[in-house]
Amino acid sequence: MEQTWRWFGPQDPVPLAHVRQAGATGVVTAMHQHYRGEVWPAEAIAARAAEISAAGLRWSVVESIPVPNEIKLQGARATEQVAAWIESLRRVAAVGVRTVCYNFMPVVDWTRTDLRWETAAGGLALRFDMADFVAYDVFVLDRPGAAADYAPALVETARARLAAMPPERIDSLERTIIAGLPGAEAAHDRAGIAAVIARYDDLGPDGLRANLTSFHKAIVPVAAEVGVNLCIHPDDPPFPLFGLPRVVSTAADAQALFDAVPERQNGLTFCTGSFGARRDNDLPRMVEQFADRIHFVHLRNVSVEDDGSFIEDDHLGGDADMVAILRRLLAEEARRRDEGRADAEIPFRPDHGHLLLDDQTKTVLPGYSAIGRLKGLAELRGVIAALTHPEVTGH
């Protein structure tokens, strides 16, 4: 498997020289300064590719070309913005990128409620607390009808939680939920997010899935033409937020997308943390089910609580059986090599990581500090080395 590292461009606190020191060979990045649905400038793409190459690395994956809400809603500008998305796809393919990740989450991208949750070992983890989220949705944002989306007992727990929060914690919670985490398409204020959520009032899961299928029918043929594998990222977390539909949360969701557009270029970013935040997702079985469609992998682990809350755990801790998942991914790589496929090697990156050691006193991007990801990559590399050792494989 190809070891890669997410990098947010020259403004990233972790420089490319440190990416090389971590042992990664591939870079996962995007043109984050052009993130509002416009076509990415060819000159900027070429410059980014040259910068990565000069550092002794290769641009392995684009993550992400953002999909604006207008496309998800099939709004008035959808045709124009799909065309812009396709042109950006053509331009990254022209510099040799062969894997493009994206998501179809309405309004909010990946979402957490706490960016510095202290672990037993003293590291700081990302956390999604269901009661905190419900407190914000129902009582702070005051979304119409929000209380009906949750169990009454959870609403009462959220009410009590909010009552005990000092004002600065409420402000921090709001910023964490709606201001946009690294790689997100957009940041919002309270009035702005309420307005965008309202646009989805008449679009349920079936409507959003139909719009995603329409999008796939437009972009997948182009991906096949230019030699790119597309890989949709699952919802994070994999359940509705703010009453909005989410349609890439389960194995059934993924199968429906692939049944609708069966070309192999219509693939999946297998994120163990996102899918793993639902206890009814059997991750090793999902790897087997979608092996031929998995074009990119995010490896992180979560520990899920009874109410749906979760923390991002150590890469080899948490609820996901990382050894079993990697064993199946390596078997898929071997199968592809036997077929002579050019995409036999699957890129993966250590997703997120605890805030550790002196990174706790540095300016870092939430989830993307250096030391926690370095630790995770080293652990994952060790598992792969063990699973591919002749003493284990027999050859």
Render pLDDT for 247-259 as a digit per residue (tens, 0 to 9).
999 999 999 999 9
Confirm if 49 and 1 have CB atoms less than 8 A apart: no
Please identify which residue in the block is written with the tokens 């309202």. Answer: 198
Rounded to a whole number, what is the largest CA-CA distance in the chain? 62
Burial (Cβ within 10 Å: 0-12, 13-18, ≥19) of residue 249: buried
Confidence of residue 35 (pLDDT cuts 50, 70, 90): confident
pLDDT at site 236 = 97
Q: Are strands 99-102 and 114-118 parallel, antiparallel or unpaired?
A: unpaired
Averaged pLDDT, 216-227: 98
pTM: 0.96
Angle between helices 78-94 and 205-226 (to 10 degrees): 30
pLDDT at site 79 = 95
Averaged pLDDT, 7-25: 97
User: In what helix (H) or strand (E) does residue 58 lie, and over which residues does it extend?
Assistant: strand 58-63
Q: Which residue of the set 233, 295, 315, 354 is catalytic?
A: 233
Query: Domain-by-domain residue ranges, the chain?
Result: 2-111+196-393
Confidence of residue 180 (pLDDT cuts 50, 70, 90): confident
With a cut of 80, say whether residue 111 has pLDDT above it.
yes
pLDDT at site 34 = 85
Instruction: Kindly list the strands in the beta sheet with 301-304, ordered across the sheet, starting from the edge strand earlier in the chain.
Output: 114-118, 124-128, 310-313, 301-304
pLDDT at site 59 = 98
Q: What is the token pair recorded at 63? A: 């993550």
Give how far the C-alpha of residue 275 lies from the chain's centroid of Cα atoms, to the nearest Å: 10
With a cut of 90, say whether residue 16 has pLDDT above it.
yes
Q: What is the token pair recorded at 364? A: 């870092």
pLDDT tens-digit series, residues 70-87: 999 999 899 999 999 999
18 included as an active-site residue: no
Q: What is the token pair recorded at 116? A: 């510095």
With a cut of 90, say whether residue 393 has pLDDT above it.
no
Work out the number of other CB atoms within 10 angstroms of the CB of residue 242. 22
Q: Which residue of the set 298, 315, 354, 359 is catalytic?
A: 298
pLDDT tens-digit series, residues 87-97: 999 999 999 99
Averaged pLDDT, 300-327: 97
Q: What is the token pair recorded at 182? A: 């690294």
Q: Which residues of 280-303 are buried (b: 16+ CB within 10 A; e: fewer)?
A: ebebbebbeebbebbbbbbbbbbb
pLDDT at site 188 = 86
CATH code reported for the domain at 2-111+196-393: 3.20.20.150
pLDDT at site 306 = 96
d(CA 85, CA 223): 11
352 included as an active-site residue: yes
With a cut of 90, say whether residue 234 has pLDDT above it.
yes
Angle value at C-alpha 137, between 135 and 142, nearest 5 degrees: 105
Q: Which residue of the set 12, 137, 271, 315 is catalytic?
A: 271
Mean pLDDT of the residues in the chain: 96
233 included as an active-site residue: yes
**Residue 102: phi, psi to the nearest 5?**
-160, 170
Confidence of residue 220 (pLDDT cuts 50, 70, 90): very high
Percent of the chain with pLDDT over 70: 100
d(CA 43, CA 226): 19
Q: Which residue of the set 216, 295, 315, 352 is catalytic?
A: 352
pLDDT at site 208 = 98
Burial (Cβ within 10 Å: 0-12, 13-18, ≥19) of residue 183: buried
d(CA 172, CA 377): 30
CA distances from 390 to 118, 245, 329, 393 (A): 40, 47, 17, 5
d(CA 371, CA 373): 5
Q: What is the token pair recorded at 160? A: 């009590």
pLDDT at site 346 = 98
pLDDT at site 302 = 98
With a cut of 80, say whether residue 12 has pLDDT above it.
yes
136 included as an active-site residue: no
Beta bridge partners of 304: 310
298 included as an active-site residue: yes
pLDDT tens-digit series, residues 259-273: 999 999 999 999 999
Confirm if 69 and 46 have CB atoms less than 8 A apart: no
Confidence of residue 183 (pLDDT cuts 50, 70, 90): confident
Angle value at C-alpha 341, between 327 and 330, nearest 5 degrees: 5
Q: Which residue of the set 315, 351, 354, 359 is catalytic?
A: 351
Confidence of residue 21 (pLDDT cuts 50, 70, 90): very high
**Residue 92: phi, psi to the nearest 5?**
-75, -30
Q: Enumerate residues 6+ apart whose C-beta is below 8 A from 89.
A: 65, 100, 219, 222, 223, 226, 228
Work out the number of other CB atoms within 10 angstroms of the CB of residue 394. 5
pLDDT at site 10 = 95
pLDDT at site 182 = 82
Q: What is the token pair recorded at 2? A: 């190809």
359 included as an active-site residue: no
Confidence of residue 283 (pLDDT cuts 50, 70, 90): very high
CA atoms in the 13 A half-sphere facing the CB of 153: 1
pLDDT tens-digit series, residues 353-367: 999 999 999 999 999
